[in-house]
Amino acid sequence: MTNTILAKNEIAKYLNSGLNILTFDEINSTNDYAKKLAEKRPDTAILIVADHQTAGYGRFKRDFYSPSNTGIYMSLLLPINKIETDLPTLKACVSTVKALRLNFPNADLKIKWINDILLNNKKISGILAESINDGKNGIAYVILGIGVNLNTTDFPLEIQDIASSITDSVTVNRNKIIADIVNEFFKINHAENFLAEYIRFCGTIGKRVELVNGNQHIVGTAEKIKSDGSLVIKDDKKNLHCFNSGEITKVYLK
Ligand code: BTN
């Protein structure tokens, strides 16, 4: 693979505005690093990017496969007294899809509610938003963790059927795509129509799905996404159920 080497000055070159950037060859997890940084109470946004992660993780503490040179593993640490954001997972999904569409215009990307991005029904990207409470005034920082499989080919056996990459091209400009994701995020952060864009990119709506939320297990049709980002599912008895967490474990083709 000959993807671009991650470089702070290259990322900065493509950014629309200044940002503190930290790059690493290897890290356990960019989200974990962001949590440590938050303890120092920075008052500006910080972008942490790594070539590979040894302990990258996603929702439900699942491993996020993060090999060297073929993916994007980034976290944006946002002090929310300076940079307010609501529905960060949804916003990060929209920004990532938009940035990927800019760079791969032929890729038919779909969001799987709530935090996955799929290409041909396989996951090519996952988002993990975490918040840090300051113990007094509530949420002090939001961490947006974004992982993208750009041209990864050697997925572990257990995820080979469900994971994929966005391209088989061997030359991808990771620095530009990282900057595009950040630029898109800051563009939509206060945009009123971002939810409409999330819904437009969301492949879950209208599909028959199975959702697991703790002990709850429901099969039905994904009806809509509400303004708070929750998913409404209509079961076979026509009862409506609203979820703001949980995981779609199956999407039926018919
Ligand atoms: C998921 O699939 O549930 C979300 C995956 C999020 C992975 C990214 S990679 C960068 C950041 N660091 C992590 O450890 N996780 C996120």
CATH number at residue 239: 2.30.30.100
CA of 130 to the centre of ligand 1 (A): 10
| Parallel, antiparallel or unpaired: strands 71-79 and 116-119 | unpaired
Is the residue at 68 inside a domain? yes
CA of 89 to the centre of ligand 1 (A): 11
Tell me, yes or no, whether 240 and 191 share the same domain.
Answer: no
Q: What is the pTM of this model?
A: 0.96
Is the residue at 2 inside a domain? no
Mutate to test the pocket of ligand 1, among 24, 62, 146, 149 (most ligand atoms within 8 A of CB): 146
Q: Determine the pLDDT at residue 137.
A: 75
The dihedral of CA 243, 244, 246, 247: what is its sign?
Answer: positive
Q: How far apart are CA 170 and CA 102, in angstroms?
A: 18
Tell me, yes or no, whether 108 and 223 share the same domain.
Answer: no
Number of separate domains in the chain: 2
Please count the other Cβ atoms lying within 10 Å of the Cβ belonging to residue 86: 12
- Domain that includes residue 221, residue range: 208-252
Q: How far apart are CA 149 and CA 166, in angstroms?
A: 6
Q: What is the mean pLDDT of each run of 10 residues along the chain (254 residues)?
A: 87 97 98 96 96 97 96 97 93 98 96 97 97 84 98 95 93 96 97 95 96 94 96 96 93 76
**Residue 74 contacts residue 81 (beta carbons within 8 Å):** no
Mutate to test the pocket of ligand 1, among 128, 146, 181 (most ligand atoms within 8 A of CB): 128
Closest residue by Cα to residue 153 from 58, 69, 41: 69
Tell me, yes or no, whether 194 and 223 share the same domain.
Answer: no
Tell me, yes or no, whether 104 and 140 share the same domain.
Answer: yes
Q: Determine the pLDDT at residue 1.
A: 54
Cis, peptide link before residue 72, omega less than 30° from 0: no
CA of 254 to the centre of ligand 1 (A): 31
Q: How far apart are CA 78 and CA 176, in angstroms?
A: 21
CA of 50 to the centre of ligand 1 (A): 12
Tell me, yes or no, whether 164 and 89 share the same domain.
Answer: yes
CATH of the domain at 34: 3.30.930.10
* Cβ contacts of 166 within 8 Å, gap of 6 or more: 100, 104, 107, 109, 119, 124, 125, 148, 149, 150, 151
Q: Which residues line ligand 1 (CB under 6 A)?
A: 29-31, 53, 56-59, 64, 73-75, 115, 126-128, 145-147
Tell me, yes or no, whether 236 and 114 share the same domain.
Answer: no
Closest residue by Cα to residue 7 from 24, 30, 20: 24
Tell me, yes or no, whether 158 and 237 share the same domain.
Answer: no
The rounded Cα 159 to chain-centroid distance in angstroms is 18
Query: Residue 115, class by beta-carbon neighbours within 10 Å (0-12 exposed, 13-18 middle, 19+ buried)?
Result: buried
Q: Determine the pLDDT at residue 138.
A: 81
Q: How far apart are CA 5 and CA 80, in angstroms?
A: 31
Residue appearing with tokens 């503490």: 61
Is the residue at 3 inside a domain? no
Is the residue at 197 inside a domain? yes
Is the residue at 90 inside a domain? yes
Tell me, yes or no, whether 213 and 150 share the same domain.
Answer: no
Mutate to test the pocket of ligand 1, among 31, 52, 93 (most ligand atoms within 8 A of CB): 31
Q: Determine the pLDDT at residue 57.
A: 98
CA of 54 to the centre of ligand 1 (A): 12
Atom number of ligand 1 nearest to Cα 62? 3
Q: Determine the pLDDT at residue 158.
A: 95
Tell me, yes or no, whether 192 and 221 share the same domain.
Answer: no
The angle at the Cα of 124, spanning 186 to 21, to the nearest 5 degrees, equals 40
Tell me, yes or no, whether 30 and 146 share the same domain.
Answer: yes
Tell me, yes or no, whether 151 and 243 share the same domain.
Answer: no
Atom number of ligand 1 nearest to Cα 29? 14
Find the Cα–Cα–Cα–Cα dihedral 67, 70, 75, 76, rounded to 10°: 170
**Residue 165 contacts residue 150 (beta carbons within 8 Å):** yes
Is the residue at 85 inside a domain? yes
Tell me, yes or no, whether 135 and 246 share the same domain.
Answer: no
Q: How far apart are CA 85 and CA 19, in angstroms?
A: 17
